[in-house]
Amino acid sequence: MELRNTLMEMKKIMPRLCAPIEAMLRIKSNLNGIEDDKMIKMEKDKIVIANEELKPLMKIISANEGYEEKYMKELRECIQEAINREFKDKEELTDFNFRVKRLT
């Protein structure tokens, strides 16, 4: 039951990795200077917060046999990509969104 609840909670949190990236793309398309840098930083902070919310859930999932190998590897890659990658356009984001959706 704990695993089921954990997976349901992850399903709520995972989209929070994608929404800030989309917002950053919109901000970058409307470049206006210093204010935009602050807005982009706020969106990046949202990704970091989502990552922090996922960490305890990831420990619970890792403790269950069978999830570590593929699922957790893909999950970690998606989180790192959300934090580190500079998405150039909506097409790149769409590919990322599909990967995240597959995990939920």
Is the overall model pTM greater than 0.75, yes or no? yes
Q: Decide if 53 contacts 13 (C-beta within 8 A).
A: yes
- In this prediction, residue 63 has a pLDDT band, given cuts at 50, 70 and 90, of confident
Identity of residue 44: K
pLDDT of residue 46: 94
61 CB contacts (<8 Å, ≥6 apart)?
3, 6, 7, 10, 67, 71, 72, 75
Lowest mean pLDDT among 17-26, 37-46, 68-77, 83-92: 68-77
Q: In the predicted model, what is the mean pLDDT of the chain?
A: 87
* Cα–Cα distance list, 61 to 12, 50, 55, 76, 93 (Å): 15, 16, 10, 12, 26
